[in-house]
Structure 1
């Protein structure tokens, strides 16, 4: 599975989980949210937003911003842990490129099903023997833990009583705002751009198309959402950029040094060559054995003399 497929799989998983968690929050006959995600997480977040807005007199816009900052700060370590796991596997793949790339080349150029299966088997063997994850270190548990918080924040921003009637900056929180949609699309584009900056040039060109996936999704969701929700996504986008910057310029350089040290102590293992690619050395070996046997016979005759 290449990096583009992993990224698409991750986005698909994210969309699926968002739809799943959306089903865990429903609206009653009065139009109020209900469900275990709302009762456990969304309602407390809604109360905190109301506290900032009414009790402290900050307004619902700042209330949404502050609650989003608090929640995202709490779950930021989970996101960094997930980024670290993926970056660790990526650093190992870069180090093992001299071993993996020839196999990938044979896999791309395979003309028969047998050649393709042999190359795939050799690639899996090389990954397994060198401790590479087939999913590239993308753990499901951190994602599953974060999604309920994202879903609860979404509904708290949208269904907190009074939030959709308030104004913030130049827009009304209950109405759609196109300038705000453009801003969040630009933020998520920048975050996607950052995520591919430290990959090899060839892979960067292949992954360039994926930079537009998240901004397009944000535009699509933003058109059908009130500005209160877009404001929550805006703060979330800033946190995503912060997480990506930490990953690119702090986590990845340290992991590259760690991987280099690990393989220095335990050198990479090249896989055994597949049968159809194994070099035939039988004639040379047979001739060597025959020459050795002939020398032994001649030596025996001389000893008898």
Structure 2
């Protein structure tokens, strides 16, 4: 359920960005575009794109050379990712701890789920309460794991960078190793997509085997949305995705081989000191099974009683009809 919710959130945020960019786009090249002065796009240009144009130009003048504006975009990307790094690491630690502790409570959750298919509506509510109790007693979050907040926080940056390139003739005409920042670049889109796919593949390595199938959707949707956004945007924004993907791969490698092993050791130590609380067991469902076994005969007897009652009523109607005819 959590993974499905993440897929919907990621898809929704990506679709929102696509809608935003498609509303701005008006040509394959952006060198002659006129800046918006009103509405949402006007606000984005005034408060986000204009400062970003100044930053890119400042970095460009500082670095110098024909690729200076491209390096400016990469440095801005690095700054954004460094700002988001504490949030990413915090979410990653919570997600890893949640995953490791879930392994210990999984037998209880599986036991509850095994009775859900046979449960009535009232019993299903009771099972849901039991599930919540398992989580609460073992200090687990029902909504734990990686969220979409980092992507949400990046949406204004992406929109601002898009308009900064689109509405600055100087930046739009600049190149980065021969690639025009103001035109769409299939090469950058493909490379960025491949890097996101590598990052997704690395994340699967530390995912429990029983959850990998559920994660496959996330593995597909993240690179796919990166490609679709990069392919409709100027290369300046595609370069942002490219640099973000490189940082993401490095971050995932650190997570796999430094952070995750450390957290696993911490969780193992914590479970030894504070063992998992057993909320449900086979004994918990003993009365439930008895009630289930008694339900079928009772329902059958009720049905037979109703049929007999209806048959008696029908017979009385027939007798009454015969008397009227006589």
TM-score (norm 1): 0.76
Are residues 154 and 106 of structure 1, via their aligned partners in 2, closer, same or farther at CA, if it must alter by over 3 Å?
farther
- Structure 1: distance between partners of 2:106 and 2:125: 20
Name the counterpart of 2:194: 186
Matched residue, 2:81:
72
CA deviation after TM superposition for structure 1 residue 237, in Å: 1.0
> Any idea what SS the aligned residue of 2:205 has?
coil
Counterpart for residue 199 of structure 1: 207
Taking the aligned partners of 2:157 and 2:48, their CA distance within structure 1 comes to: 7
For the structure 1 residues 179 and 137, does the alpha-carbon distance in structure 2 shift closer, same or farther, using more than 3 Å as the test?
closer
| Deviation sequence 1:129-182 (CA, Å, 0-9, x none) | 111111124467666555444444444444444111112213222222212221
Work out whether 1:52 is the aligned partner of 2:59: yes
2:109 to 100, 103, 106: 100
| 43-52 or 9-18, larger mean C-alpha shift | 9-18
Q: 2 CA distance for matches of 1:45 and 1:130?
A: 46
Whether the 8 Å contact between 2:108 and 2:280 is mirrored in structure 1 is no
Q: Is the 8 A contact 2:35 2:45 kept in 1?
A: no
| Alpha-carbon separation, structure 2, partners of 1:20 and 1:79 | 26
CA-atom RMSD in angstroms: 3.4
Gaps of at least 5 residues in structure 1 are: 283-305
- Which ranges of structure 2 fall in alignment gaps of 5 or more residues? 25-32, 291-326
Give the conservation status (yes or no) of the 8 Å contact 1:89–1:133. yes
Residues 13 and 152, structure 2, Cα contact 8 Å, conserved in 1? no
Could you say if the C-alpha distance between residues 182 and 229 of structure 1 is closer, same or farther in structure 2, counting changes exceeding 3 Å?
A: same
Matched, 1:122 2:130: yes
Alignment of 1:256 with 2:264, yes or no, is yes
* Structure 1 residues 157 and 232: alpha-carbon distance in aligned structure 2, compared to 1, 3 A threshold: farther
Paired residues of 2:74 and 2:239 also in contact (CA < 8 A): yes
Shift of 1:21: 8.5
Q: CA deviation at 1:241?
A: 1.6
Structure whose CA Rg is larger: 2
Deviations along 1:22-74, one digit per CA (max 9) or x if unpaired, are 89x9xxx9415766665555433321210222354232112211222222223
1:103–1:262 Cα change, 3 Å: same
Q: Is the 8 A contact 2:9 2:148 kept in 1?
A: no
Q: Check whether the contact 1:157–1:232 (CA below 8 A) recurs between aligned residues.
A: no
Distance 1:83 1:207, change over 3 A: same
Residue 139 (structure 2) pairs with residue 131 (structure 1)? yes
Equivalence for 1:91: 100
Cα deviation for residue 99 of structure 1 reads 2.7
Distance verdict in 2 for CA 1:187–1:56, change over 3 Å: closer
Partner SS state of residue 133, structure 1: coil
- Conservation of the 8 A alpha-carbon contact between 1:165 and 1:173: yes
Q: Alignment partner of 2:139: what SS?
A: coil
> Measured at CA, do residues 35 and 195 of structure 1 come closer, stay the same or move farther in structure 2, by a change above 3 Å?
farther
Q: Secondary structure at the match of 1:278?
A: helix
SS at match of 1:66: helix
Tell me which moved more, 98-107 or 74-83.
98-107
- TM-score norm. by structure 2 comes to 0.72
